């Protein structure tokens, strides 16, 4: 099976979309961006290929006559089991790296550092099954986020109970995670992890093993690839296979919602207001300057200041009773203004509602400069998952442009990667056409 791939290397996440020979989406993959851009691309592509394999398994189960309910239960359990095995694998890598750094750092055995770290890592290993229980809710699927949050919490306990130096424990994790997240995907790990996941299912369909075997035996061959994103200049792609974010987001949004004429993308590091024609070709656009004000990175700073996860900001803002006026969305002054507002007695929920409104107001100024909002409007990027941002956008669009269709897809974060994959597919079709003419 030949496929075309689009990679969107963003400032915070790297996304991949793979398209089949008929242009259908076979798989999606996402990971956190990291210092090794090649590894980030490889991991995102690996995740997209895993997603594609799950699609093949689903097809095999359909052909075997497995009921939709039984199939859904099996695939959900299989995906959860796979993620659990991946987490175990990365946890073992983390433990190995921490111990290698521990040999250098623990110059005073009486400090209890080695014993504390072993207790922390042992607890994390023991908690893996609980973390991936059927009814458990995980804050993130990224290993750095999951392991980091738990490691820090356990390190705080060890520091409080045993008097072990907290900073030294955290320093070991910080050094080790940089190594672990830049290790390339392990060859053959998918089948090994999947076999373990199948073995862990309580009551799998009788045909699941054969469906898994058939799906993993399908040859997946990359036919073409295009890269885009904030870090596109550093992508491990030939220069002629790199496209701008503007073109990719415009084409991706048009593919998802063909009637789209205006696109707003708020990513981790920049905001883009894009106008497209009926074919998805960009006719005009505006971007914010190099500052990350009003973008996902800004929300990340705010979350850090409040000791919250980024995913918690939107729901908390929606509980506000009033909107606090925010003067600046500058990341440099975000913490200072936040602390000042809190010191004046403002509720953090009300402050957050004001912050979200300020971000969208900044985005609307870009939209106005790009040509306004016409016909269907599509909101993309990671911030499109933030319910408070969506609510503020919907309200402000209605106030300034009247009622109109606003499209927000659950897969909006993949819009740029989708556009890149569509460009890759066009290149493949062009190449195939040339070969046919030559023949």
- As a three-state string, the secondary structure of the chain is CEEEEEEEECCCEEEEEEECCCCCEEEEEEEECCCCHHHHHHHHHHHHHHHHHHHHHHHHHHHCCCCHHHHHHHHHHHHHHHHHHHHHHHHHHHHHHHHHHHHHHCCCHHHCHHHHHHHHHHHHHHCHHHHCCCCCCCCCCCHHHHHHHHHHHHHHHHHHHHCCCHHHHHHHHHHHHHHHCCCCCCCCHHHHHHHHHHHCCCCCCCCHHHHHHHHHCCCCEEEEEEEECCCHHHCCCCHHHECCHHHHHHHHHHHHCCCEEEEEEECCCCEEEEEECCCCCEEEEEECCCCCCCCHHHHHHHHHHCCCCHHHHHHHHCCCCCCCCCCCCCHHHHHHHHHHHHHCCCCHHHHHHHHHHHHHHHHHHHHHHHCCCCCEEEEECHHHHCHHHHHHHHHHHHHHHCCCCEECCCCHHHHHHHHHHHHHHHHHHHHHHHHHHHC
Confidence (pLDDT) at 313: 83
Domains of the chain and any CATH numbers: 82-180 (no CATH), 258-408 (3.30.420.40)
Q: What is the mean pLDDT of each run of 10 residues along the chain (439 residues)?
A: 92 92 94 86 93 95 93 93 94 94 68 89 94 79 88 93 90 94 85 89 88 90 89 68 92 95 87 93 85 67 76 86 74 68 84 86 90 89 87 91 90 94 91 66
Model pLDDT, residue 377: 94
pLDDT of residue 55: 95
């Amino acid at each position: 099976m030949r496929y075309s791939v689009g990679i969107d290397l963003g400032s915070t996440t790297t996304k991949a979309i793979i398209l089949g020979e008929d242009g259908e989406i076979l798989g999606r993959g996402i990971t956190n961006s990291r210092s090794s851009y090649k590894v980030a691309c490889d991991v995102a592509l690996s995740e997209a290929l895993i997603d594609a394999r799950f699609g093949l398994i689903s097809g095999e189960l359909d052909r075997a006559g497995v009921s939709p309910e039984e199939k859904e239960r099996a695939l959900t359990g299989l995906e959860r089991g796979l993620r659990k095995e991946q987490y175990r694998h990365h946890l073992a890598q983390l433990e190995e790296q921490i111990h290698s750094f521990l040999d250098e750092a623990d110059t005073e055995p009486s400090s209890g550092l080695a014993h504390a770290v072993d207790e922390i890592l042992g607890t994390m290993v023991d908690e893996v099954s609980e973390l991936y229980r059927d009814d458990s809710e995980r804050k993130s699927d990224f290993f750095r986020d999951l392991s980091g949050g738990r490691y820090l919490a356990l390190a705080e306990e060890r520091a409080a109970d045993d008097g072990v130096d907290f900073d030294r424990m955290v320093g070991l994790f910080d050094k080790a995670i940089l190594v672990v997240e830049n290790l390339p995907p392990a060859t053959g790990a998918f089948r090994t992890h999947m076999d373990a996941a199948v073995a862990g299912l309580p009551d799998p369909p009788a045909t699941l093993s054969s469906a898994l075997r058939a799906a993993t035996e399908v040859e997946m061959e990359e036919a073409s690839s295009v890269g885009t994103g904030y870090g596109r200049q550093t992508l491990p792609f030939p220069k002629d296979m790199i496209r701008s974010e503007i073109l990719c987001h415009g084409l991706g949004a048009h593919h998802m919602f063909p009637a789209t004429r205006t696109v707003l993308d708020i990513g981790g590091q920049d905001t883009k207001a894009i106008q497209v024609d009926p074919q998805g070709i960009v006719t005009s656009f505006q971007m914010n300057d190099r500052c990350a004000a009003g973008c996902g990175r800004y929300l990340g700073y705010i979350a850090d200041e409040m000791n919250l996860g980024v995913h918690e900001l939107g729901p908390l803002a929606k509980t506000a009773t009033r909107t606090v006026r925010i003067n600046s969305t500058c990341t440099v002054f975000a913490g200072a203004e936040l602390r000042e507002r809190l010191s004046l007695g403002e509720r953090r929920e009300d402050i957050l509602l004001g912050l979200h409104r300020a971000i969208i107001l900044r985005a609307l100024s870009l939209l106005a400069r790009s040509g306004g909002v016409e016909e269907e409007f599509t909101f993309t990027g990671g911030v499109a998952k933030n319910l408070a941002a969506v609510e503020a956008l919907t309200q402000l669009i209605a106030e300034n442009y009247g009622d109109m269709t606003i499209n927000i897809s659950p897969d909006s974060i993949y819009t740029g990667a989708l556009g890149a994959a569509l460009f890759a597919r066009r290149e493949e079709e062009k190449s195939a056409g040339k070969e046919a003419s030559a023949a």
